[in-house]
């Protein structure tokens, strides 16, 4: 179980006896600690807090497969198509022959 504490943004929490830094609140003034942390009991007495619901792990996503290579590819610009008619149309529109 995790507990979220609320304090001033970027506030540093130090050990009173030793002066060593223990925790720092983030830019939003939030700090999440595990329930088994020995400082949680003292932090609960000094800061506003709430219990954070445990989220189920996200299902693993399979990497996307690369798109198959087109059957026909333009030698001039790299345009590709599986349909020869589309290639002819591309050549006529994109790479017309110079008029003499």
Q: Over the chain (100 residues), what is each successive 10-residue block's mean pLDDT?
A: 90 87 90 87 89 76 78 88 90 82
pTM over 0.85: no
The DSSP output letter for 98 is: P
Cβ neighbours of 40 (radius 10 Å): 16
Q: Where exactly are the structural domains of the chain? A: 2-52, 69-100
Cα–Cα distance for residue pair 100/82, rounded to 1 Å:
32
Alpha carbon distances (Å) from 89 to 18, 77, 79, 84: 78, 14, 12, 9
């Amino acid at each position: 179980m995790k507990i979220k504490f609320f304090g001033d943004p970027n506030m540093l929490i130090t050990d009173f006896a030793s002066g060593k830094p223990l925790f720092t609140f983030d830019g939003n003034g939030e700090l999440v600690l595990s329930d088994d942390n020995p400082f949680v009991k003292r932090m609960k007495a000094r800061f506003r807090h709430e219990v954070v619901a445990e989220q189920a792990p996200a299902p693993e996503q399979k990497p996307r497969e690369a798109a198959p290579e087109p059957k026909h590819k333009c030698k001039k610009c790299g345009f590709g198509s599986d349909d020869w008619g589309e290639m002819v149309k591309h050549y006529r529109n994109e790479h017309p022959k110079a008029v003499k």
